[in-house]
Amino acid sequence: MLKHQFGAPMTASTRTTVLSLYMRVFRIARTWQAQSGVASDTETERKYILQEARNLFRRNQKLTEQESIRKCIEECEARIEIGLHYRNPYPRATYLPPMGLATQKGRKLRAQQRLRKQAKPIYLQSHDET
């Protein structure tokens, strides 16, 4: 078993999965073609894919809880599949107005925030602005 910085165990299979995803993202970026077919768009989108992968993997490299790691893996897989399907590397927007989820007893801000967090798709968990 491998150890993280804080001493929590990380299984070899989890490490292999994470490294495999990281390399898959880099392979996708290397062969990425923008839907518009314009070379400058392709280059911009490739740079975005690489930078987003680096940022998210670095931000999450110190995670030790298996559940948190599993959620990050699921998010990465979902973002890869959605990006390849729609030929768009950017996260898909969610269309929930700030107070769009009604509660049973009126529109209380705390309840609204909790409902918005629960309604957030897996592929947007790393984005705070949605």
Domain count, the chain: 1
Q: Which residue has the tokens 């740079």?
A: 47
Query: Do the domain assignments include residue 82?
Result: yes
- Most confident option among 83-87, 109-113, 122-126: 83-87
- The tens digit of pLDDT for each residue in 13-41 reads 999 999 999 999 999 999 999 999 999 99
Domain of residue 40: give its range. Answer: 12-124
Has residue 114 been placed in a domain? Answer: yes
Vertex 82 angle, CA 50 and 76, to 5°: 55
Whether the predicted pLDDT of 53 surpasses 60:
yes
Local structure of 9: helix, strand or coil: strand
CB atoms within 10 A of CB 59: 11
Give the amino acid at 120.
K
Res 48: pLDDT: 96
Looking at per-residue confidence, does 54 or 107 come out higher?
Answer: 54
% residues pLDDT > 90 (the chain):
58
Inside any domain, residue 5: no
Q: What was the pLDDT predicted at 101?
A: 54
DSSP string, 31-89: H---TT--HHHHHHHHHHHHHHHHHHHHHHTT---HHHHHHHHHHHHHHHHHHHHHT--
Check whether 57 has a pLDDT greater than 90.
yes
Residues 46, 34: contact at Cβ < 8 Å? no
pLDDT tens by residue, 60-91: 999 999 999 999 999 999 999 999 999 999 98
Assigned domain for 85 exists: yes
Instruction: Give this prediction's pTM.
Output: 0.71
Nearest 5°: phi and psi at 3?
A: -115, 140
Question: Hey, what are 3's tokens?
Answer: 């150890």
In a domain, 6, yes or no: no
